[in-house]
A = this chain, B = another copy of it.
């Protein structure tokens, strides 16, 4: 029951997501103009309230003024265009400057997507402050700013980080969770599910994402809680209704047109494109991030953000498909053209359309607008594909979901329109025979955009089930699961063939986080004795004896080494293991004994044993430290295959493990040793791994 009190406030996550949505909409529109009299309204809200908007004149909205209209009272011509252009760039720079300064000065952890770090935290590594309240506040504010600045980034990944911060802060309110690391991780897994749920309006997809991608341990009882958290968050967001369409997402679509089996060919081609793009993006982005780390570039994060923003704004403004926000672009690309749609993408020739045909709109020949849209979209594709490489990883909150979906959606729409026109002009070809005759509605370019978006997202993140389920929840149609799966699968295979790591794993690797990958099997034939320390020629393991060492001996052992713990043995000769004691506990106990306990000097004996032999009256008082010793340290034999050792470390979440041979203590294996060994076996640099 308790967990529900802790999770219910996850409606907070829904509220934050709504807040970010509304504010970023308003700020995005602010780049182009303002609603006079009611400046707090977005363009849509402003014009929706206006009474002059009629069906014929959707854009005639007197209250909304572009900057040129407001400043010069002019809207046509070159000069007003330039004024609008410059103000667009200035606003973008202002938003991104604010964002990067807030991040740099108040919460350095608020930058990036946060998913690599959350994966690492859930695997047992501690990054202090990463899920703190400052990170939460600053990330929430700067996320809206970063999205509004027009940079090629999304809010989905960072929302997961925000949700985890909420979950972590809530944990602090309850003793049960504050004390118990495992329970806290369960709450964080649930929070991650809630984050995806609000990001996409996909509660089931959110739970599966948390399960598949983010979480490390996912006990089954967490499933229900995650689902509950995801649902509460989603419904909070829905009641805030940021898009005014009673839907959780901007790009909700409801197709009904069926697809034909032969269309799997273009879908698989889109999958291949997605995989190629994903693999290329990961390589290029990692190369750029390495450059940032190793060269002077890393020293000027503010300048970098401003430069990328400026380039983005300068290049984005002239092309209407890049000027609008990425999510609006995706929404437009997913859209299926109706007869009355007036956008360029829907500019088809309607001469011979028989509107009485049961509401089915047949495939039509493209008109001039569609062709214009095609080359503008091609330019947008190149622009988005390249600029995202430089954007992801900068010192602002930046998610990858939306940019990669945008790339895929553009490619998909381009292919969709091509196949549609091909089918229209060549409906007598053998492959179109029978299902795509003249006057039939056989190709839906919006569906291609959707499949393309899934393919690119899959190529970059290597999500599988959760990707398909998220897309399925967006469209609400079970019938599109097969196209989506075909694309997701192809994309994953192609991308995996070019590089095993997802973008998140690549960033974990780049940052050297000690993350023990749970998906890959360790299949080398090494044994525990090959990995344990001390190695063959090293000095033997530092051990403490249970009853023969003095306070001075142990202090010396502490000062001479930097190990975080010491095994305790019966005697140095027998090397029979008794327990394990943490360095920290030893230092604290000895210090406090020296202060508070009478007669504890350097010559005092320390006893870890149960039984303390009677002391001669002349000797100094002895110190009993059995209580601080871990009596059940984890042991394996030196002959244990590393395959099993890795499995044990993963499943039990160990930090270290003692190695014995014939009952004698021989050495120790820490998580770091395991990680280094795995890196070595994969021919990677073992020294790049951080550890706390």
Q: Which of B212, B219, B476 contacts A220 (CB 8 A)?
A: B212
Known: A228-B489, A648-B652. 12 other contacts (CB 8 A): A204-B472, A224-B464, A227-B464, A227-B465, A227-B468, A228-B485, A231-B481, A569-B663, A632-B637, A635-B637, A635-B660, A651-B652
Q: Determine whether A203 belongs to the interface, using a CB cutoff of 8 Å to chain B.
A: yes
Is the CB–CB distance between B632 and A644 below 8 Å?
yes
Interface 9-mer from A267-275, A417-425, A574-582: A574-582
Is the CB–CB distance between B635 and A631 below 8 Å?
no
Annotate A624-660 by CB proximity to B: 1 below 8 A, 0 otherwise: 0000000111111101110010011001100000001
Taking CB atoms, residues of chain B closer than 8 Å to A128 are none
Contact flag A478-B481 (CB < 8 Å), given A576-B662, A632-B640: no
Q: Using a CB-CB cutoff of 8 Å, which residues 641-692 of chain A contact chain B?
A: 641, 644, 647-648, 651-652, 660, 662-665
Q: Determine whether A303 belongs to the interface, using a CB cutoff of 8 Å to chain B.
A: no
Q: Determine whether A83 belongs to the interface, using a CB cutoff of 8 Å to chain B.
A: no
Q: Roughly how many angstroms separate A17 CA and B79 CA in the complex, as a whole number?
A: 70
Is the CB–CB distance between B220 and A663 below 8 Å?
no
Q: Roughly how many angstroms separate A220 CA and B517 CA in the complex, as a whole number?
A: 11
Q: Using a CB-CB cutoff of 8 Å, which residues 572-592 of chain A contact chain B?
A: 574-579
| A31 to B: closest C-beta gap in Å | 33
Q: Determine whether A282 belongs to the interface, using a CB cutoff of 8 Å to chain B.
A: no
Is the CB–CB distance between A519 and B648 below 8 Å?
no
Is the CB–CB distance between B227 and A664 below 8 Å?
no
Annotate A455-492 by CB proximity to B: 1 below 8 A, 0 otherwise: 00000000011001100110010100110010001000
Q: Using a CB-CB cutoff of 8 Å, which residues 203-255 of chain A contact chain B?
A: 203-204, 207-208, 211-212, 219-221, 223-224, 227-228, 231, 235
Q: Which of B220, B569, B641 contacts A518 (CB 8 A)?
A: B220
Q: Determine whether A87 belongs to the interface, using a CB cutoff of 8 Å to chain B.
A: no
| A504 to B: closest C-beta gap in Å | 14
Q: 3 closest Cβ contacts across the A-B interface?
A: A576-B663, A631-B639, A632-B640
Q: Which of B223, B228, B651, B652 contacts A211 (CB 8 A)?
A: B223
Q: Determine whether A570 belongs to the interface, using a CB cutoff of 8 Å to chain B.
A: yes
Contact flag A664-B212 (CB < 8 Å), given A468-B227, A481-B203: no
A-B contact pairs, 10 of them (CB 8 A): A204-B469, A212-B220, A220-B518, A223-B465, A227-B464, A227-B465, A231-B485, A473-B478, A652-B652, A663-B663
Q: Roughly how many angstroms separate A648 CA and B651 CA in the complex, as a whole number?
A: 9
Q: Which of B220, B481, B662 contacts A570 (CB 8 A)?
A: B662
Write the residues of chain A forming the contact surface with B, with a CB cutoff of 8 angstroms: 203-204, 207-208, 211-212, 219-221, 223-224, 227-228, 231, 235, 464-465, 468-469, 472-473, 476, 478, 481-482, 485, 489, 518-519, 528, 569-570, 574-579, 631-637, 639-641, 644, 647-648, 651-652, 660, 662-665
Taking CB atoms, residues of chain B closer than 8 Å to A207 are 465
Is the CB–CB distance between B632 and A636 below 8 Å?
yes
Is the CB–CB distance between A482 and B663 below 8 Å?
no
Q: Roughly how many angstroms separate A227 CA and B468 CA in the complex, as a whole number?
A: 10
Taking CB atoms, residues of chain B closer than 8 Å to A528 are 632
Q: Roughly how many angstroms separate A576 CA and B577 CA in the complex, as a whole number?
A: 11
Taking CB atoms, residues of chain B closer than 8 Å to A662 are 570, 576-578
Is the CB–CB distance between A639 and B632 below 8 Å?
yes
Taking CB atoms, residues of chain B closer than 8 Å to A641 are 632
Contact flag A570-B465 (CB < 8 Å), given A212-B220, A632-B637: no
Taking CB atoms, residues of chain B closer than 8 Å to A579 are 637
Q: Which of B476, B485, B574 contacts A478 (CB 8 A)?
A: B476
Taking CB atoms, residues of chain B closer than 8 Å to A648 are 652
Is the CB–CB distance between A663 and B577 below 8 Å?
yes
Q: Roughly how many angstroms separate A219 CA and B521 CA in the complex, as a whole number?
A: 11
Q: Roughly how many angstroms separate A478 CA and B477 CA in the complex, as a whole number?
A: 11
Taking CB atoms, residues of chain B closer than 8 Å to A664 are 576, 663
Q: Roughly how many angstroms separate A272 CA and B644 CA in the complex, as a whole number?
A: 47
Please, which residue of chain B has its CB at the minimum distance from the CB of A546? B662
Q: Roughly how many angstroms separate A6 CA and B612 CA in the complex, as a whole number?
A: 63
Taking CB atoms, residues of chain B closer than 8 Å to A577 are 660, 662-663
Q: Roughly how many angstroms separate A662 CA and B663 CA in the complex, as a whole number?
A: 9
| A47 to B: closest C-beta gap in Å | 28
Q: Roughly how many angstroms separate A574 CA and B570 CA in the complex, as a whole number?
A: 13
Taking CB atoms, residues of chain B closer than 8 Å to A570 are 662-663
Is the CB–CB distance between B220 and A482 below 8 Å?
no
Q: Roughly how many angstroms separate A353 CA and B203 CA in the complex, as a whole number?
A: 39
Q: Roughly how many angstroms separate A566 CA and B538 CA in the complex, as a whole number?
A: 35
Q: Which of B220, B227, B465, B663 contacts A660 (CB 8 A)?
A: B663
Q: Roughly how many angstroms separate A203 CA and B482 CA in the complex, as a whole number?
A: 11
Q: Which of B223, B576, B634 contacts A212 (CB 8 A)?
A: B223
Is the CB–CB distance between B652 and A235 below 8 Å?
no
Please, which residue of chain B has its CB at the minimum distance from the CB of A569? B663
Taking CB atoms, residues of chain B closer than 8 Å to A660 are 577, 635, 663
| A482 to B: closest C-beta gap in Å | 7
Q: Roughly how many angstroms separate A469 CA and B227 CA in the complex, as a whole number?
A: 10
